[in-house]
């Protein structure tokens, strides 16, 4: 069997968005010496009335290159470089339209920059998850407990689950199917995934807080890349687990969430989401912790410590409508 480090070396990775660390667009040139100067000397009324227009033209207004925000809230004709953009014989209306188009493209670029920044932060700070965790710890601890716990996907008997009436499987991505931020299925899991596809056909999907989440994957690029690499449909959604309902998932599969299996590696996100919405929940161990951010590793330790403590106290998972005995769903390690 490949070790985590060996397996990780064979996978393909996509980076965490880092565009917010890059410099502004190349055509935005800042000039630190071009400052707005102010004078405290009084100006006579006669000079103000006769030379008003001349003074306005001579004022060293900051151009767009000096102030990106100022340009977004000004009209194109207020740009002192605007006249230089008009070629001889070109109608002013066409010139204004051209500058406005430039404005739109730069604003879109700004929006993409902000989206990438929020995505990068969002991958480390799950606000919805924090709020949900507090509620779970205080009054809903049973939601953290999975119906089935296995080392990884190879220990799940997909055929037995199908026989019991389950119609589809929903996978978390990072550390369940792939290493964190990877596009490729963890090599030792590929035979199990192929078996799952053979049993459930097209009724399997990825429901992740990375690929497919609008906040993080705003242009669908990561979802499409993962689908191309794994052959598994990635569900698009706007709300991070464990928040949100199962409406989008049920619509995709065409059945109730109680007929679906939720498989993930995080008790306070994947399992809480699954139990709260009626799935059969399966908790796996993380595939590789080396690629996880430091804060995620610390939160994971706390989650597992609380889970083990509540299990020792005899806390039971929520009842599932289709099954009461889950032992047939787990393969014996000698069969692997």
Return the pLDDT at 91: 52
Residue 138 has a CB neighbour count (10 Å cut-off) of 8
pTM of the entire predicted model? 0.64
Domain of 205 in residue numbering reads as: 145-330
pLDDT > 70: percent of the chain: 59
Q: What is the rounded radius of gyration, in angstroms, for the C-alpha atoms of the chain?
A: 28
The residue with greater pLDDT, 139 or 17, is 139
Q: Let me know if residue 248 belongs to a domain.
A: yes
Summary count for the chain: helices (H), strands (E): 12, 6
Determine which of 60-74, 167-181, 215-229 has the lowest per-residue pLDDT on average. 60-74
Q: Let me know if residue 10 belongs to a domain.
A: no
Tokens of 303: 């989650």
Considering its fold, how many domains does the chain have in total? 1
Question: Which CA distances in Å does 21 have to 66, 113, 146, 177?
Answer: 19, 9, 40, 30
Backbone φ and ψ of 142, nearest 5°: -65, -20
Which range has highest mean pLDDT (53-62, 90-99, 129-138, 208-217)? 208-217
Q: Are 130 and 222 in contact (CB under 8 A)?
A: no
Output the CA angle 204-210-216, nearest 5 degrees.
Answer: 135
The residue with greater pLDDT, 179 or 53, is 179
Task: Give the residue-averaged pLDDT of 186-204.
Answer: 96
Tokens of 324: 């009461």
Return the pLDDT at 139: 82
Distance CA 105, CA 66 (A): 18
Q: What CATH number has the domain bearing residue 203?
A: 3.40.50.1000
Q: Which of 208, 264, 204, 277 is nearest to 240 (CA)?
A: 208
Q: Let me know if residue 31 belongs to a domain.
A: no
The residue with greater pLDDT, 310 or 22, is 310
Q: What does the pLDDT look like over 239-279, one tens digit per residue? A: 999 999 999 999 999 999 999 999 999 999 999 999 999 99
Task: Give the residue-averaged pLDDT of 54-75.
Answer: 39
Q: Let me know if residue 297 belongs to a domain.
A: yes
Note the maximum CA span of the chain.
Answer: 99
Distance CA 86, CA 102 (A): 14
Q: Which of 112, 132, 121, 102 is nearest to 241 (CA)?
A: 132
Q: What does the pLDDT look like over 84-93, one tens digit per residue? A: 444 445 454 5
Tokens of 230: 């794994």
Residue 68: CA count within 13 A, CB half-sphere? 16
Q: Let me know if residue 219 belongs to a domain.
A: yes
Q: Let me know if residue 238 belongs to a domain.
A: yes
Helix (H) or strand (E) holding 282: strand 280-284
Q: Let me know if residue 222 belongs to a domain.
A: yes
Mean pLDDT over each residue of the chain, to the nearest integer: 74
Q: What does the pLDDT look like over 277-328, one tens digit per residue? A: 999 999 999 998 887 888 888 888 999 999 999 999 999 999 999 999 999 9
Q: Which residue has the tokens 């993380």?
A: 286
Q: Are 216 and 119 in contact (CB under 8 A)?
A: yes
Backbone φ and ψ of 13, nearest 5°: -115, 145
Q: Let me know if residue 189 belongs to a domain.
A: yes
């Amino acid at each position: 069997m490949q070790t985590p480090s060996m397996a990780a070396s064979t996978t393909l990775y996509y980076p965490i968005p880092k565009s917010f660390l890059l410099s502004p667009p190349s055509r935005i040139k800042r000039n630190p010496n071009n400052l707005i100067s102010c004078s405290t000397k009084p100006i006579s009324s006669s000079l103000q009335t006769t030379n008003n227009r001349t003074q306005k033209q001579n004022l060293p207004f900051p151009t767009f290159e000096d102030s990106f925000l100022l340009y977004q809230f000004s009209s194109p004709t207020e740009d002192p470089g605007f006249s230089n953009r008009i070629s001889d014989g070109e109608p002013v209306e066409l010139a204004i339209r051209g500058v406005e188009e430039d404005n739109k493209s730069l604003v879109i670029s700004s929006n993409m920059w902000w989206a990438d920044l929020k995505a990068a932060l969002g991958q480390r700070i799950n606000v919805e998850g924090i709020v949900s965790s507090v509620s779970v710890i205080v009054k809903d601890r049973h939601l953290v407990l999975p119906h089935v716990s296995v080392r990884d996907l190879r220990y799940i008997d997909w055929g037995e689950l199908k026989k019991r009436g389950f119609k589809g499987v929903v996978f978390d991505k990072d550390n369940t199917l792939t290493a964190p931020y990877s596009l490729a299925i963890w090599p030792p899991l590929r035979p199990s995934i192929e078996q799952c596809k053979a049993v459930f056909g097209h009724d399997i999907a990825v429901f992740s807080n990375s690929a497919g989440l609008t906040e993080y994957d705003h242009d669908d690029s990561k979802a499409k890349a993962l689908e191309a690499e794994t052959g598994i449909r990635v569900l698009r959604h706007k709300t991070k687990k464990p928040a949100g309902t199962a409406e989008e998932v049920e619509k995709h599969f065409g059945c109730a969430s109680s007929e679906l299996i939720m498989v993930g590696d995080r008790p306070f996100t994947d399992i809480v989401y699954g139990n709260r919405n009626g799935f059969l929940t399966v908790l796996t161990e993380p595939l590789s912790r080396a690629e996880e951010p430091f804060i995620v590793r610390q939160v994971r330790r706390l989650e597992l410590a609380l889970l083990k403590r509540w299990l020792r106290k005899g806390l039971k998972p929520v009842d599932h409508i289709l099954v009461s005995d889950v032992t047939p769903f787990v393969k014996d390690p000698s069969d692997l």
